[in-house]
Amino acid sequence: MENGGEKIIKINIEEEMKSSYIDYSMSVIVSRALPDVRDGLKPVHRRVLFGMDELGLTSGKPYKKSARIVGEVLGKYHPHGDSSVYMAMVRMAQEWSLRYPLVDGQGNFGSVDGDSPAAMRYTEARMAKITEDMLIDIDKDTVDMMDNFDGSLKEPTVLPTRIPYLLVNGASGIAVGMATNMPPHNIKDAIDAICAYIDNNDIDIEELIKIIKAPDFPTGGMIDVSKYCDGMRGGNVKIRAKIEKDNNNRALKITEIPFGRTTSSLIDSIIKANEKGKIKIKKIDDNTARDVEILIQLAPGVSSDKTIDALYAFTDCELSISPNSCVIEEEKPRFMPISDILRQSADDTVALLKLELEIRLKELLEDLHYVSLERIFIEERIYKDKQFEESETMELVIAHVHRRLQPFLPELYREVTDDDVKKLLEIKMKRILKFSSEEADHYIRSLNEEIAVVKHNIEHIIPYSIAYYERIKAKYGKGRERKTEIRNFENIEAAKV
């Protein structure tokens, strides 16, 4: 249909709405709400970390203003609101939100009390140490790159992480028609389970679950995982605050809170239960500083044991979490149990380590090739040949060098190319005059020794991978014992105190 020179195409509105909604849903699912099973990150978190890497904000460098980092990410990789980028970075810096924070923040990044973080112009940040092991060799073709939103730059489709991030930090997100809710685990337990799987790919799920044990939350507390169901839908995890008796049973002290709650929200639930007559308390104080401490003064004549039961029954001192391990695999959402995520993480890391070794081997062989050529070129004084000096064109010079190198080809690991010869021709006279055959031989020996080690590691990739994981465990697991105590909770029958 023509209308004023414009062509109008009639379409079925129902089909158009269906198609557009599916496109929107998949965009939210894949590009925003669910983590990639390979590195455990959503696009915004991956872009923040990549942006920090591009700025050189490693753990040993000075902090940089958060606004500068957010601007870098917005302008280059994530064309959405600045608050979404900043809040993603803030959460990665909070010790009570992530079991192993990825960002080292300086300034007010909020608190476990529920306080909001300061504006991005006031805070500063850099990478945490553990993040560096998620970005090593990203510039060496270890992962695929894709165009950014305007096609002017490249960004990684996934980070080359060696850390089982999705297992140790979990994930949560709400997409269209689906959601994910994965609790974090202890890095020691996760690596022990991964090493057991690498050593024996046929290990039973039950054995893996025994090793990885149960979720380990950054806020501590106690957990009942009798219905965990390998992190799949239909399972249930109960979390309790840790409550101690104080002041000769006339007061109670909460020292650890359920994951996902702040001290303020927990206190609000206790006050509401008191107002409804479910518990009887005289006073409640939040003495939380670095460590959680909520002090509850009991009313006269009230049993401390019954009050503890009532707190678990009627307040947020006990919560139920429904695990739902939904991830992105090959650009599609998939419900994947924790044991499968563990296997996937292990397989991906072994493949990554082997790829890095192969890249390193290629680099070493190229170094060996060039230093051998350089030694021959200088020791044989090819640059002094009469034909070399009298050649009228570059093509004749290159042809002469090729002829002179012909007897030495068996000593080299590959054929000599024109680019190799051109590189030799760029050697400055200063380098030739300072050349030492002894130093060249020593360097060649060191290259051959390293090549032998790399080849051995490639041939024995399984023990190499296990040793690598053990180093990661020693590096990041030291002093990080389980915070969440595993218990079997008894059903509490309490109407009120």
Strands 222-227 and 485-486, sheet pairing: parallel
Strand, helix or coil for residue 122 = coil
Catalytic residue among 21, 24, 122, 413: 122
Helices 437-459/338-379 angle, 10° precision = 160
Is residue 197 annotated as a catalytic residue, yes or no? no
C-beta contacts of 177-181 below 8 A and 24+ residues apart: 177/25, 177/29, 178/29, 178/34, 178/326, 178/333, 179/33, 179/324, 179/326, 180/33, 180/34, 180/35, 180/324, 180/325, 180/326, 180/327, 181/321, 181/322, 181/323, 181/324
Structure tokens at 58: 């490693």
Helix (H, G, I), strand (E, B) or coil at 215: strand
With vertex at residue 292, the alpha carbon angle to CA 290 and CA 294, rounded to the nearest 5 degrees, is: 135
Angle, CA of 243, 244 and 247, to the nearest 5°: 135
Terminal-to-terminal C-alpha distance of the chain = 76
Rg (CA), the chain: 30
Strands of 236-240's sheet, edge to edge? Answer: 318-321, 236-240, 222-227, 485-486
Report the distance separating Cα 400 and Cα 43, nearest Å.
54
Phi, psi at residue 171, to the nearest 5°?
-165, 155
Q: Which residues are catalytic?
A: 122
